[in-house]
Structure 1
Amino acid sequence: MKKLVIAGAIALAPFAVQAQTQDTYVPFEGFYIAGGGGAVWALSSNPGVTTYTGWLAGGKLGYDFLGPRVDLEVGYGRIGNNVFFPGSAVSGSSGQLNVMANAYYDFLPLQRFTPYIGVGAGVAFVDSNQPLGSTQFAWQAMAGLTYHIDSSWAVGVEARYMGTTNPSINTPTGTVYSQNHTIAALAGIAFKFGAPTVAPPPPPAAAPPSFMVFFDWDRSNLSAQALNTIKQAAAAYKTKGNARITATGHTDTSGPEAYNMALSLRRANTVKDALVREGVPATAIAVIGRGEAGLLVKTADGVREPQNRRVEIVIQ
């Protein structure tokens, strides 16, 4: 009887991970560890030998170069069979311990979803009646997909093909040599060390100081309250040093549009003159008339709305 063995190679979610905070994914190079497992199936056996779905598990330590990636992997697994030799290493199942050096290439290493391919070579210790098992040269080829949860954690799935040189085992009927090829479906998780801290975003810029001057209906003269507001605006200008002021005039929707445009401009110029009297240079003040555009309170046409009759003073 030929001995049935498995590729004890483990699923390792690879790493082309990136630096970040909990919510941001930023690529970076670094060391990673990974572990996982899955199902394995034997591709070669003797006539009359039945094999069953087996299992495998293991871990890795590697380094990610953001594209190329290398690691050292150790894994163990078993496959069941219908062969029973009392006192033999093959008795209802067979196992294999692998120590493999792997090289990968991650496509799209800067993206959260990273497909990859890889190859590996190493040593397999196959169940046998020898103290260290039947030591074999092993090789494997992998293809998989990694999802980066964040800069430190990733999960992945992998398909793997593995082979070894022919192991041997002593049985009551003599020494048996067997081909040893398997395929595996694996899943795993990985952690990458040294994710850099992402600085918090800067606070939003403060809105420029602004003041509001209101007018009576169809008027452009300044009330006592309006003059007091203009004094405050002039004082704010003086504290900012080399600043600019924009005085934008508005009207309500009563009256013709052309008339309201001219009225809004008169109001803005009235405010400019008052600011100049408070010590603001005329060259620092821009005057704009918007008429009925830019209503503070939305109204229908022809409505006298006090809050729409205004000049907005913005200091920048």
Structure 2
Amino acid sequence: MRLRTALLATTLMAAAPVAASATTITGPYVDLGGGYDLTQTQHANTAASAMSGGSNTMGNDTHSKYRHQNGFTGFGAFGWGFGNGLRVEVEGVYNYSEINHRNYTGVSGKTRGSDQSYGGLVNVLYDIDLKQFGIDAPVTPFVGVGAGYLWQHYNPTDTRFSNGNRSRLGGTNGGFAYQGIVGAAYDTGVPGLQVTTEYRMIGQTFTDGAYQSTTWNQSGVHTGHVNFDQRFNHQFIVGLRYAFDTAPPPPPAQPYVAPPAPTPARTYLVFFDWDKSNLTARARQIVAEAAQASTHVQTTRIEVNGYTDNSSARGGASGAKYNMGLSIRRANSVKAELIRDGVPASAIDIHGYGEEHPLVPTGANTREPQNRRVEIILH
């Protein structure tokens, strides 16, 4: 029941939402954690020898089970992340557990005591990037295994039997230890700092005869060696992990945005030969561009203005009048070409300005090509 409750607590912690994105560790980090320890019942085999009146007589072996109750664990680790999810760390760990019952002793009794283990392990872990599965979640699950060496120390653990007898277990022994790790890490919003929740199962083996049992009864004092089978600890841990390499990831590549198409011009210039109102090939090309542009920009009206330079095929005062007519003929030529290019005649207004408003100021009676023009203005 206690194991199921602790597993549920760890699951709920792993599912708690956080507001930051997941992080893959690159470089050195430190990890500190602590939590609840649940140690499985241990089987003990005690080989007793009777000590009475100075003579030793071997007695029968006894078998019993020591049941553990509440406990806690704490650890500190220094590690290195390779940036691809793989991490390696060296860990120091301390475990404590109460002992509250002893079964299969033949006579009922009450047992009180505790034990503790401490030592180091080397762990290899792997962070799982959920984005490779199409999951954009602010959490990084991880799994790992470890191996090392732990010392197991039994504090004086007394059993007082209902018939008045008493026994005590004690001693320290070291042995090979291994563990499996499943957990998840959550970013806190502080660069490099993560909160972790995890479950660990630690197993440990012992050397035979490493612990001592002393029993007091009516026949005297009995001492002997105690052998334990493997020890298993189930641990539910909350921790903090800090990675020293906190350089922010490169910003995501910005999506390519095509530049907007250039806005068509709203004014076009068509140039004419001297004393001519007919369109050249280049002039027709410009008129076609203006007609095409009128369909791509919001146009309500097209203004066509004709001009001449201040020279004239007619001399004297009639020259200005002649040029006024020539500018109107040029405007009409452009209008006719616009209509052929699909522009409605009703959308076109023409004006002739003769020698007025020159594009390039000149002296009197000067042939200036840039002043011999028609302006197409899109409104």
TM-score with structure 2 setting the length:
0.34
Higher strand share: 2
Larger Rg: 2
TM-score with structure 1 setting the length:
0.39
Between 1 and 2, higher relative CO (CA 8 Å, sep ≥ 6) is seen in: 1
